[in-house]
Amino acid sequence: MKPIQSSLKMWMEDNTNFKENYTKIKQEILNNPEVKDFLSRHEELTAKVIDKNLIKLHEYTNQSKQCQQCTSLQNCKNMLKGYSPILYVENNEIHLSYEKCPNRMMYEKQEEQQKLIESLYVPKEILEASMGGIDGDPKRGAAVRELVKFVESAKTKIPQKGIYFSGPFGVGKTYFLGALANELKNYQISSMIIYMPEFVREIRSSLKDDTLNEKVDFFKKADVLMFDDIGAEMQSAWFRDEILGSILQYRMMERLPVFFTSNYTLEQLEKQVASTRDGIDEVKAGRLLERIKQVSKEVPVYGENRRH
C-alpha cells in the first residue's frame, strides 16, 4: 500500500510542478519579442486559439530565423536542419511552416556545382582561404585593394569585370581566389574556381560521358567564374576557341565577371595561347585575349615566394 501512496503523492507533486512550469513557459512564449510582434499583427486571434497553438509558438521561438544564429548549415540549430520557421494565420488558425534558409540554398547550389566538376582539383588550403588571412605585404597592396574594391561593389551588385592576377610563382595569386570565393558566400554569391590543367582534362573526359554541354553551360552562367593558372595547360585550338572562347564570349555578352591567375602577363599569354598542337594562330589568340580583357582587368601581383 505504501508504494502506491508514495507514487500518488509524487504524481500530485509533479502535476503541481507541471502547472507551474506550464504557466511559466506560457508567459515566456507570449513575452517573446517575435511572438508579441506576430500577435500584434493578428489581433483577431482569441486567447483560446493562442492557447491551443502554444506548442507551435514555442517551436517557433526556439529556432533560428534565416540563419541569424547559425554560422553554417552543419551548425544549424533548427529542428529541420537548413530550414527556417515561418508563422502565419489562415482560417483564424496559427500555422507553422518551414522554408529553405540561405545556408541551405547556398549548400545545395554548391552541391550541384560539385556534381558537375567532381574531378577539378582545388587545394584544401585554398578552399579555406579568407580575406583576413591575406598578409599585409606592401608589395601586394595594389592587388589587395582591387580585390577589396570588387567585394565592396558585389555587396550591392556583382561588377561586370573580374581581375586578371599576373605575377611570378608563389606570390599568393591562387589564395586570392579562395579568399574571394569565401567572402562572396557571405553575400549569397556563388563562385567556381577552376584549376586550368584539370579543366582541360575534365573537358576531354566529358566527351566520353556526354556531359560536355551541361558543364560548359554551367561555367558560362556561374555568378563569379575563376580560372586558376591559365596558360599553364597544353591546349588544342579546339579547346581554346570552342570551349574557353565560348565561355568567355557568353560571359562578355552577359556582363559576368571572370577572375584569372597566371604566371604570364596578358601580352605574354597571347603568345602562349597562339601556339597549340595544331599550329600557330595569332588572330584567334588575339580574339581570346580581347574577351579576357572584356571580362577582367589586369592587376600585377608582386611579393616574396610564399611556397619556399
Characterise 99 by phi-psi region: left (phi > 0), alpha (psi -120 to 50), beta (else).
Answer: beta
Task: Count the residues in the chain.
Answer: 308
Indicate whether 119 pLDDT > 50.
Answer: no
Residues 203-257: tens digit of each pLDDT: 888 877 777 888 888 888 888 999 999 988 767 888 889 999 999 999 999 999 9
| Interatomic CA distance for residues 60 and 262, integer angstroms | 50
Q: Lowest-pLDDT range, 80-89, 111-120, 165-174, 266-275?
A: 111-120
Domain ranges for the chain: 2-100, 117-300
pLDDT digits (tens, 9 = 90+) for 23-52: 888 888 889 888 899 899 998 989 898 888
CB atoms under 10 Å from CB of 188, counted, come to 12
Q: Which residue has the cell 558537375?
A: 116
Multiple choice CATH, 117-300, 3.40.50.300, 3.40.190.10, 3.20.20.140, 1.10.260.40? 3.40.50.300
pLDDT reported for residue 224: 92
Output the CA angle 150-151-153, nearest 5 degrees. Answer: 65
Rounded Cα distance, 84 and 241, in Å: 45
Residue 87 DSSP class: E
